């Protein structure tokens, strides 16, 4: 038995794939959870609109100094609809000052402050609400001590996009992309590796079919499977969990198509390095885990530090999750939709070209 143990350790140390499987996942998780991913609410895009006064400037200064907020220049009184800042994702929270000015409103006690919050993520919205109200009360109490007791300040809070603060509203659009991504990465990658493992790849190579035809023939069925998974979760979320659909169905369909293309391209690329189904599944898992963690499915992308934030812009899942939430909860703001659809298209096409070239070189 001792001899077998020694032999097994020697085999493990000689196999680079095995070493990567053993150490890569825990190291990656430690780095991501320790440095990049956190449940703390920070980097909140915060705007103060309305009549500019000394108090409004102090609120902005206090918010920025707290380290939780990033102030957004909303143009003072010039903005017509403060809610547009939330719809376009320029701001996550907007404090609308009374039209008579903050100081006059506090002296009279009859003019409320209005607080608009993006409640797409219900848990984050509750914390943002508490942060802003705490800052507002502290700034007001410095000049009006009676305000510290809470009897003077009137705050009219308006929760947008998720009025009942329900978690399924936040998770279902993300699951539409994440579940489809997992299925396509694992199943499509294993299907391509199966040809190598079974020894039938040589028959495909010697057939009249070109490399493009081989790739399309192997991936198109899974493309429709990915769309079916998205459709199933979409129907389940709408009819079983009551998730609203405020945008257009064609926007959801277009996002799903681009996303399926990106996922299949990544699966093709990974499968070119796999000699069997087991290694294809392992490679798909090693790629899928960081993609999910850096997509905003569970942890807000805004919380990721700047030195790691650039990785999110290479992530097709991030664009898909953001687009699905924008369409279903916000009504599909056209500027945001086309921006993220365009970036998703670029990522999908780039990955498709890389996957095709690598697949063709392996065939040759």
* Domains of the chain by start residue, with CATH: 44-160 (3.40.1710.10), 166-363 (no CATH)
- 3-state SS, residue 41: coil
Is residue 165 a contact partner of residue 129, using CB atoms and an 8 Å limit? no
**155-160: strand order across its sheet:** 69-72, 44-49, 93-96, 113-118, 155-160
pLDDT for residue 323: 92
Crossing angle for the helix pair 16-31 and 2-14, to the nearest 10 degrees: 70
Residues 319, 344 contacting (CB under 8 angstroms): yes
Phi and psi at residue 48, to the nearest 5°: -115, 120
How far is residue 148 from each of residues 130, 155, 324, measured CA to CA in Å? Answer: 15, 14, 42
Cβ atoms of 42 and 67 within 8 Å: the answer is yes
Residue 117 pairs with which residues in a beta bridge?
93, 159
For residue 335, give the H/E element and its range: helix 334-363
- Concatenate the DSSP letters of all residues of 166-225 into one string: -HHHHHHHHHHHHHHHHHIIIIIHHHHHHHHHHT-HHHHHHSS--HHHHHHHHHHHHHHH
347 to 66, 124, 258, 262, 274: CA distances (angstroms): 36, 29, 9, 7, 23
* C-alpha dihedral sign at 67, 72, 75, 81: negative
pLDDT of residue 250: 93
Q: How far apart are CA 48 and CA 72, in angstroms?
A: 8
Strand, coil or helix: 48: strand
What's the confidence (pLDDT) of residue 24? 64
Residue 109 has what pLDDT?
66
What's the CA gap between 59 and 172, in Å, rounded?
A: 35
Predicted local distance difference test score (pLDDT) of residue 77: 46
pLDDT of 152 reads: 65
List average pLDDT for each run of 10 residues in the chain, which is 364 residues long: 70 68 61 56 80 82 82 63 81 83 71 82 80 83 64 76 78 87 82 74 71 79 88 89 89 93 87 78 82 80 73 88 90 86 91 80 60
């Amino acid at each position: 038995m001792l001899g077998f143990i020694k032999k097994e350790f020697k085999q493990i140390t000689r196999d680079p794939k095995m070493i990567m499987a053993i150490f890569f996942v825990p190291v990656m998780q430690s780095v991501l959870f320790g440095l990049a991913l956190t449940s703390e609410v920070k980097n909140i895009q915060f705007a103060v609109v309305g009549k500019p006064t000394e108090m409004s400037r102090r609120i902005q200064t206090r918010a920025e100094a707290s380290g939780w907020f990033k102030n957004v220049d909303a143009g003072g009184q010039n903005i017509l609809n403060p809610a547009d800042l939330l719809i376009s994702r320029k701001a996550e929270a907007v404090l609308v000052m009374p039209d008579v000015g903050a100081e006059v409103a506090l002296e009279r006690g009859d003019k409320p402050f209005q607080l608009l919050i993006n409640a797409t993520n219900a848990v984050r919205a509750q914390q943002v609400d508490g942060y802003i109200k705490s800052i507002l009360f502290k700034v007001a109490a410095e000049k009006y001590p009676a305000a510290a007791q809470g009897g003077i300040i009137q705050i009219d809070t308006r929760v947008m996009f998720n009025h009942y603060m329900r978690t399924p509203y936040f998770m279902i659009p993300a699951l539409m992309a994440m579940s489809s991504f997992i299925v396509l990465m694992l199943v499509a990658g294993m299907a391509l590796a199966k040809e190598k493992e079974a020894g039938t790849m040589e028959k495909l190579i010697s057939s009249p079919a070109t490399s493009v035809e081989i790739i399309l023939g192997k991936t198109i069925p899974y493309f429709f499977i990915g769309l079916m998974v998205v459709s199933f979760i979409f129907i389940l979320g709408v009819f079983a969990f009551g998730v609203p659909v405020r945008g257009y169905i064609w926007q959801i369909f277009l996002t799903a198509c681009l996303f399926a293309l990106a996922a299949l391209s990544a699966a093709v690329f990974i499968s070119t390095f796999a000699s069997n189904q087991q290694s294809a599944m392992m490679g798909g898992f090693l790629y899928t885990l960081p993609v999910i963690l850096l997509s905003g499915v569970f942890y807000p992308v805004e919380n990721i530090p700047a030195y790691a934030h650039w990785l999110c812009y290479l992530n097709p899942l991030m664009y898909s999750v953001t687009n699905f939430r924008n369409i279903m909860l916000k009504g599909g703001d056209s500027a945001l939709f086309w921006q993220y659809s365009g970036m998703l298209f670029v990522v999908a096409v780039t990955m498709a070209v890389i996957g095709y070239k690598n697949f063709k070189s392996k065939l040759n």
